[in-house]
């Protein structure tokens, strides 16, 4: 981001011009920022350590364009639904580089994945294991699996995005009478190639403590599998959750802060216990795309309540960014057309939905806004478009990618006709 002539630029594109050309609300994604993050992952993890892999977590932001970019850069792709898998298929993403995650895969989704020959299933529960055994046998296919485990660690993040605690809807509990019979069933099956374990401890993390605690638990589990079944685990997926910068409160860490101690401890443990070093996989999603995105809005009504606050309403809201309403996510913003002006007062940025929780930013320090100003909100590349909805029958915005001074629509703006296309009048 930079400021020229009082206007905000993303790469070499004037955001005010983008708003005029494509309309608002608008998602804008910087391709070069994505590539910079991927290069960091390559330099500090993939190229630095032997037998490693990175699988982009598609839930953060997945479009046909993103699939092709991830494919071109050599990363794998983590999907969690039939819709995400279908997007990858339509983009002709290599099936062997797809990992299918999720806690309640349907029969139809599993069959789609089997037919496309996805590279790996991350099995979330015993029900799914039995279902996979049945369906892979019916299709005469041997599949690769990891067991997603619940390591029972707490993370320093919002409770709604903590995923590794004992009380979690995700993963198999680490009770001997649950995990070890499942491992034995997988090892003994001719339809299953059991490769190892997966864990995910939470999202938007700036501390590696929970990753390291989960790693200790996982490595002991790998040792126990070797001792009990004389079976060498081939792979360990340590998930993602690496935090990004939303506001000045976020002290972001490089990817090396997370992976370096993990790789060191894995090697040390394996040497000490005389077990094979497994392949190690990470699942960055937000880390790759979060800071690459901004959202542009047009200011509409301005409501001043003397002695209380001033509401500045924009032409979008919780339909295109539900994170503030879901878990009080914080963002920074700027008036893109008055970017150098002094920020003299605090304002509450509200959306246009008929919902009191439709507040994007509680206290935004800005010049006095005017109707027609263009408001830019930063770090919205992850979980904005992917969580967009049609509450109040508002249209889902377009997505534009920029690279240097070039811009292109990669998702068209939804029309009113699109909104009611599936409805039937009887």
Question: pLDDT, tens digit, for every residue of 14-42?
Answer: 999 999 999 999 999 999 999 999 999 99
User: Among 160-169, 191-200, 340-349, 386-395, which is the least confidently predicted range?
Assistant: 160-169
Cross-strand pairs, 294: 28, 378
Give the up-direction half-sphere exposure of residue 243: CA atoms within 13 A in the CB hemisphere.
24
Dihedral of alpha carbons 258, 259, 262, 268, sign: negative
Query: What residues contact residue 204 under an 8 Å CB cut-off, 6+ apart?
Result: 157, 158, 161, 241, 243, 244, 286
The first and second tokens of residue 177, run together, are 């009478």
Query: What residues contact residue 306 under an 8 Å CB cut-off, 6+ apart?
Result: none
Question: pLDDT, tens digit, for every residue of 106-141?
Answer: 999 999 999 999 999 999 999 999 999 999 999 999
DSSP state of 373: P
Looking at every residue in the chain, the average pLDDT score rounds to: 95
Phi/psi of residue 353, nearest 5 degrees: -75, 150
> How high is the pLDDT of residue 145?
98
Strands (E), 218-353: 235-237, 279-282, 293-305, 309-314, 333-335, 345-350
- Model confidence at 281: pLDDT above 70: yes
Q: Do domains 2-29+290-420 and 31-289 have the same CATH topology?
A: no
pTM for this entry = 0.94
CA 173 to chain centre: 24
Count of CB atoms within 10 A of residue 29's CB? 28
Share of the chain above pLDDT 70, in %: 97
> How high is the pLDDT of residue 152?
76
The first and second tokens of residue 374, run together, are 């263009």
- Model confidence at 394: pLDDT above 60: yes
Characterize 210-221 residue by residue with b for buried, 16 or more Cβ atoms within 10 angstroms of its Cβ, and e for exposed: bbbbbbebbbeb
> How high is the pLDDT of residue 154?
52
Domain 2-29+290-420 has CATH 2.40.37.10: yes
Residue with tokens 């959750």: 241
Q: Cα torsion at 175, 180, 182, 184 (round to 10°)?
A: 180
Query: What residues contact residue 412 under an 8 Å CB cut-off, 6+ apart?
Result: 398
- Find the mean pLDDT for residues 244-259: 94
Of the candidates 150, 182, 183, the one whose C-alpha atom is nearest the C-alpha of residue 168 is: 150
Question: pLDDT, tens digit, for every residue of 72-88?
Answer: 999 999 999 999 999 99
- Model confidence at 315: pLDDT above 90: yes
- Model confidence at 227: pLDDT above 80: yes
Question: pLDDT, tens digit, for every residue of 353-370?
Answer: 999 999 999 999 999 999
Check whether the bond before 25 is cis (ω within 30° of 0): yes
SS3 396: coil
**What does DSSP say about strands 309-314 and 293-305: parallel, antiparallel, or unpaired?**
antiparallel
Cα angle vertex 395, ends 241, 18, to 5°?
75
> How high is the pLDDT of residue 155?
42
The CA distance from 222 to 224, in Å, is 5
Confidence band of 161 (pLDDT split at 50, 70, 90) = very low
Give the up-direction half-sphere exposure of residue 66: CA atoms within 13 A in the CB hemisphere.
32
Cross-strand pairs, 378: 294
- Find the mean pLDDT for residues 325-350: 95
Dihedral of alpha carbons 4, 9, 12, 16, sign: negative
- Model confidence at 350: pLDDT above 60: yes
- Model confidence at 163: pLDDT above 80: no
> How high is the pLDDT of residue 309?
96
> How high is the pLDDT of residue 162?
45
Catalytic residues: 354
Q: Cα torsion at 281, 285, 286, 290 (round to 10°)?
A: 130
In the sheet with 2-4, reading across from the earlier edge strand, the strands are 2-4, 7-10, 13-14
Residues written for the chain: 426
Domain chopping of the chain, boundaries: 2-29+290-420, 31-289
Helix axes 209-229, 176-188, angle to 10 degrees: 60
SS3 137: helix
Question: pLDDT, tens digit, for every residue of 408-418?
Answer: 999 999 999 99
> How high is the pLDDT of residue 170?
84
Which H or E run includes 216? helix 209-229
Ranges of H-type helices in 53-102: 64-72, 82-90
Considering the segment(s) 31-289 as one domain, its CATH architecture is: Alpha-Beta Barrel (3.20)
Question: pLDDT, tens digit, for every residue of 35-55?
Answer: 999 999 999 999 999 999 999
Complete DSSP assignment for 239-250: ---B---SSTT-
């Amino acid at each position: 981001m930079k400021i020229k002539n009082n206007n905000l630029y993303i790469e070499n594109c004037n955001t005010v011009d983008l708003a005029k050309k494509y309309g608002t609300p608008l998602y804008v994604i910087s391709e070069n920022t994505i590539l910079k993050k991927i290069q960091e992952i390559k330099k500090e993890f993939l190229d630095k350590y032997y037998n490693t892999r990175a699988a982009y977590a598609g839930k953060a932001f997945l479009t046909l364009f993103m699939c092709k970019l991830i494919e071109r850069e050599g990363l794998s792709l983590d999907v969690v639904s039939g819709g995400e898998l279908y997007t990858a298929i339509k983009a002709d993403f290599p099936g062997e580089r797809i990992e299918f995650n999720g806690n309640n895969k349907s029969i139809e989704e599993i069959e789609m994945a089997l037919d496309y020959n996805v590279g790996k299933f991350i099995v979330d529960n015993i029900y799914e294991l039995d279902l996979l055994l049945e369906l892979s046998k019916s299709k005469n296919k041997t599949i690769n699996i990891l067991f997603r485990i619940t390591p029972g660690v707490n993370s320093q993040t919002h409770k709604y995005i903590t995923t590794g605690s004992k009380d979690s809807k995700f993963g198999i509990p680490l009770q001997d009478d649950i995990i070890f019979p499942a491992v034995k069933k997988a090892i003994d099956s001719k339809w299953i190639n059991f490769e190892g374990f997966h864990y995910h401890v939470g999202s938007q993390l700036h501390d590696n403590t929970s990753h390291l605690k989960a790693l200790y638990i996982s490595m002991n589990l790998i040792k126990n599998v070797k001792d009990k079944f004389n079976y060498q685990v081939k792979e360990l997926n340590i998930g993602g959750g690496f935090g990004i910068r939303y506001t000045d409160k976020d002290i972001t860490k490089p990817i090396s802060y997370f992976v370096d101690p993990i790789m060191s401890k894995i090697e040390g443990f394996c040497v000490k216990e005389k077990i094979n070093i497994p392949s190690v996989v990470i699942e960055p999603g937000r880390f790759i795309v979060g800071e690459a995105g901004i959202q542009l809005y047009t200011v509409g009504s301005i409501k001043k309540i003397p002695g209380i606050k001033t509401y500045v309403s924009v032409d979008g809201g919780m339909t295109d960014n539900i994170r503030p309403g879901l878990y009080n996510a914080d963002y920074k913003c700027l008036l893109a057309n008055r970017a150098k002006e002094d920020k003299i007062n605090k304002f509450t940025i509200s959306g246009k939905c008929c919902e009191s929780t439709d507040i994007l930013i509680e206290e935004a320090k800005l010049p006095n806004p005017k109707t027609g100003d263009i408001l830019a909100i930063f770090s919205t590349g992850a979980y904005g478009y992917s969580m967009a909805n049609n509450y109040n029958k508002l249209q889902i915005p377009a997505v534009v990618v920029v690279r240097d001074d070039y811009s292109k629509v990669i998702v068209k703006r939804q029309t009113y006709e699109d909104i009611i296309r599936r409805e039937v009048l009887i």
